[in-house]
Each structure stands twice: as structure tokens, then as C-alpha cells.
Structure 1
Amino acid sequence: MPRPVHFEIYAADPARAQRFYETVFGWTFAQWGDQDYWIITTGNEGPGVNGGMLPRQGPDPAPDGPVSGYVMTTEVPNLDATIASIEGVGGAVVLPKNHMPGVGWLAYYRDTEGNLFGILQGD
């Protein structure tokens, strides 16, 4: 069965987005040659997927606009600490922390670039 192997983050300000994701999740970024493209490493242990970041082409997402792409959710060990980190570096709540029975605690946020993402602390 096909599985996702790569994700991409589009950013109006790639340096600002890089600081956000380094601070919140500890991800690392490496520019790919002299291209406006950065390889994102999310970790080396357990299941997961790595990605890339590039400058956004076109307008930023509207804060109240509909979701127009996939929402990537990242599992975290401590949801409350992650929420504090996100809000401390400019992230904005979209769906406050709520319990999903049999799954865990989930919240949705927008990053500094207006991109929607989820965080999950499993039960």
C-alpha cells in the first residue's frame, strides 16, 4: 500500500518558519545546494517522515479560509509544553486542545506562515 514519504512546508519567510519548527519540534534544516529549498529532518528514530521547505508562490493562506491541503499531525510527548512553545514563537490556535477517546489529546495550530498543522499526545 502506498505511504507518504515526504512533506513540504511553504513559507513567505523561510528563515522565520525554520526558527519556528526548530524551536517547537527540534527539527533540523539544511539548504539543498544553492536552491531556495531546505531539507527538513524530523528525527531518526521510529516511524516518521522527513520533508522540505520552500518559498510560497502566491498569497498567504487566509486566517479564516478553508483547509486546502493535507493537515500533518506530529505526535509530541507533552501537549501542554508543546502548546506553550508554539504560542511562545508566534503560532496561533485553530482548534484548542481536546480529547479524542481512544486516541489522545489533539490540537490544531497555524505556524508563523499561516500553515495549519496538528499536534497529538497519545493516550
Structure 2
Amino acid sequence: MPRPVHFEIHATDPERAITFYTAVFEWSFERSGTEPYWLITTGEGPGINGGLAKREGPMPDPDASVNAFPLTMEVDDLDLLTREVELAGGRVVVAKRPIPEVGWITYCRDPEGNLFGMLQLDPGAE
């Protein structure tokens, strides 16, 4: 059964977001790779860690009722689950792409418009 393993925050100004989450929650951030991406450590014990990415596209309407950062589920077969998403009425919004030395990721929306990610681990991904 796929379980949440990662969350992601998208930010127009990553440094401002890092300052905010460090001050409020005492999370730590570590730059990862050559892309503008930071790994987030939220603490010790139960819970999940995440990442912070440079936003691709315009900033969401700050007055909208809910804007969220995507939760990512680890899956065994990304291609199969992507087809399942589409058959169940969802849609792919970011096509499958590699995260070098980690795996493959895609982002989808459920029929209600909620964004989520799916990650298939594959250390050979390039």
C-alpha cells in the first residue's frame, strides 16, 4: 500500500521560505544537487522529511481557500500507478522525470484538483 514518504514546498523566493520554516518550525535545509532544490529535515522520530523547490510558474492566488504543498507517495511501479490515476479520473500535471540517483517522480491532480506526487525509487535514474 503506497504511503506518504515526502512532502515538497514550492517557493518563488526559496531563501525567504527557508528563513520562514527555519524560524517557525526549526527545520533544517541542505542544498541538493545542481538544481535549486533543498532537502528539509523536520526533526527526529516519527514523521516525514521533505524538499523545497524553486516554483515553476506563477505564484498561487494567496486569497484562495487552500493552497498546499504536494505530498509524495512511494510506489513500486510509477507507470502502472500513473495509468491508475488517469483511469480513476485524475490527471498527470508533471510528466515522469528522473531525480538522479534517487528515482522517478511524477505529479498528478486528483479529480478534486488536489496535487500529489508519486516516487519510484531507482538509484540508477539519470
TM-score (normalizing by structure 1): 0.52
Match of 1:33 in 2: 33
Provide Cα deviations, 1:6-41, integer angstroms capped at 9, x if missing partner: 000000000000000000000000000222110000
Partner of 2:47: 48
Q: Contact 2:60/2:67 (CA < 8 Å) preserved in 1?
A: no
Helix, strand or coil at the partner of 2:40: strand
Counterpart CA distance in 1 for 2:13 and 2:68 is: 20
Q: Aligned to 1:4, what secondary structure does the other structure show?
A: strand
Q: 2:18 maps to what in 1?
A: 18
For 2:38 and 2:70, the matched residues in 1 are separated by 20
Q: Does structure 1 retain, via aligned residues, the 8 Å contact 2:42–2:48?
A: yes
After the TM superposition, list the runs of 4 or more consecutive aligned residues in structure 1 that deviate by more than 2 angstroms.
66-72
Partner of 1:67: 66
State the distance in 1 between where 2:23 and 2:68 align. Answer: 24
- Residue of structure 2 in register with 1:89 after alignment: none
Aligned to 1:7: 7
Secondary structure at 2:5 match in 1 = coil
Equivalent residue letter for 2:63: D
Distance 1:22 1:13, change over 3 A: same
Structure 1 unmatched runs, 5+: 73-123
Aligned partners of 1:38 and 1:24: how far apart in 2? 17
Cα deviations across residues 63-96 of structure 1 (Å, max 9, x unaligned)? 2224355688xxxxxxxxxxxxxxxxxxxxxxxx
SS of the counterpart of 1:20?
Answer: helix
Question: How many pairs does the alignment contain?
Answer: 71
The corresponding residue for 1:93 is none
TM-score w.r.t. the length of structure 2 is 0.51
Calculate the aligned-residue CA RMSD, in Å. 2.0
Amino acid at match of 2:4: P
